[in-house]
Chain A
């Protein structure tokens, strides 16, 4: 397929030179949304008028920059889609849930604020599993998103709307959130590049809380180079999030072109290959493509060596106890009293029970209950307490690994995109989709997913690199070197331009 959008770096140069206006780019994205979103359903909300106003402001900044010879920020005039668990002032924030239907927040998330400050144009809000709880975007109360490569397949989740929007050319860049793989897995399923930063590298202010010790705000784009531009703009300490730090990465990404160093190749880079991520049951084409990608990295000078991460098999139960426990506390705030819809009843308690019981979807209710159970008297030590101790052992696996290697390479998911409705009503089967992405969240380390091939049905395959805390630079530069040597990330799905 012909490229639908050039890279962000190319767009940026065209905008700076005045060969392209932000209004033209924004209109291209809006037209693409109007023509393909009716059958992908990646967007829950988009606002052409507001976007075009922002584009005109960006064009004024670009014109002024040309006049006075001072370059504008590189993202000026570039369009962005924002996952609908992240607050944008004046745009509805639903979290894919009926319990927030009609809620319009008056404030921007810090990441959104910084990207607006960098001149980005916000197109709208993208679909998500309800409160980011899911691996397919099927748990949205507003209907599923479809995979641009095959509309009978899921786009992954929970940032499925953002991944589908980038993969189909509706937006060059998107924000997502990753609590257990929700940026990396949809990036893999849709054939785009997605970064889950180090826990604490990007402010969570304005990201609706799910699992507070796990939540990370990340970015999706068509290449490591594109994603690096967004990461650079959103990372760094924020007085509004006491867990947000990030003094380290700045010294690695100091230039206007963050990844220019990577032409030096990957000589001396040690990449660990954990046996535990190449398990029985993994789709053979996924394993083959990931191993081929590792061979390509070796060809670029990296050294691959086997490592052991013996507690990996416990990541799933640990995550699915800790994340729901934290969610059960975080979602206690949705009671229908202060904001969102309220279902009236005779007594206050009945109001809570009805509002929550009827307006939360099935998966959210399951997780709240699982968390409440794991925290409840008599079960706390056996479940939540044991999970917290096992989390220490999983962190220890990463600490040991990073004494021997610089990065870890692994599949993102055991399969390519599965069919919509394929997991029926079987929550455990859905949870098993996350086995390779959960450990990075439990350890708080960064992970980057990028495309490394296709299966025989033409569905994208992703690989992830995981690195030590604050080493997003290593992940991005390694993926950039890979993408300079391959063209998987340049493939476009052959989408029809009208609903089918």
Chain B
């Protein structure tokens, strides 16, 4: 299951990661080795086996949808990368 530089470029773009050429070269080798090991999974016959997406023993419990005190704007603003006039300041989204 050998990856190519093109596939690495594609999944780096999907993952929103800028990689250096050195990183790409390393990840081609490392991720190819990992995927090669994972080939053993293909030998397993899973015909008719349902997938597991969660293991919760029992049902999800939802809380009543009621307003309650939360984190204040003042507290939240201290965690922000950039704030202005009580709002998150972000780079322009539209060119």
- A: which residues have CB within 8 A of B? 103-107, 198-200, 213, 237, 239-240, 242-245, 311, 313-314, 316-318, 320-321, 328, 332, 335-342, 344, 347-354, 356-358, 360, 362, 365-366, 368-370, 372-373, 376, 382-383, 385-393, 395, 425-428, 431, 442-444, 469-470
Contacts and interface: CB of A to CB of B under 8 A. Distances in A.
Contacts of A427: 30, 33-34
Nearest to A341: B81
B67 interface: no
A340 B78 CA distance: 11
Contacts, number: 177
**Overall SS of chain B's interface:** loop
- Residue with the highest number of chain A CB atoms closer than 10 Å, among B15, B18, B46: B15
Contact of A369 (B31, B60, B63, B90): B31
A244 B57 CA distance: 10
A336 B16 contact: no
Contact of B81 (A314, A332, A338): A338
Contacts of A370: 31, 34
A387 to B, nearest CB: 7
Contact of B34 (A199, A244, A428): A428
A391 B31 CA distance: 22
Chain B interface residue number, banded: 35 or more
Contacts of B30: 366, 425-428
B51 A385 contact: yes
A200 B81 contact: no
B79 A390 contact: no
B17 A314 contact: no
Contacts of A383: 38, 41
B66 to A, nearest CB: 10
- Residue with the highest number of chain A CB atoms closer than 10 Å, among B26, B42, B81, B82: B81
Contacts of A362: 23, 26
B86 interface: no
Contacts of B50: 389, 392
Contacts of B5: none
Interface string B29-55: 011011101101110101001111111
Contacts of A360: 17
Nearest to B7: A373
Interface string B12-27: 1011111100010011
A320 B38 contact: yes
Contact of B80 (A339, A368, A388): A339
A201 B78 CA distance: 32
Contact of A337 (B18, B37, B51, B81): B81
B91 A344 contact: yes
Contacts of B84: none
Contacts of A340: 81
A357 B17 contact: yes
Contacts of B92: 348
Nearest to A311: B44
B88 to A, nearest CB: 5
A104 B79 contact: yes
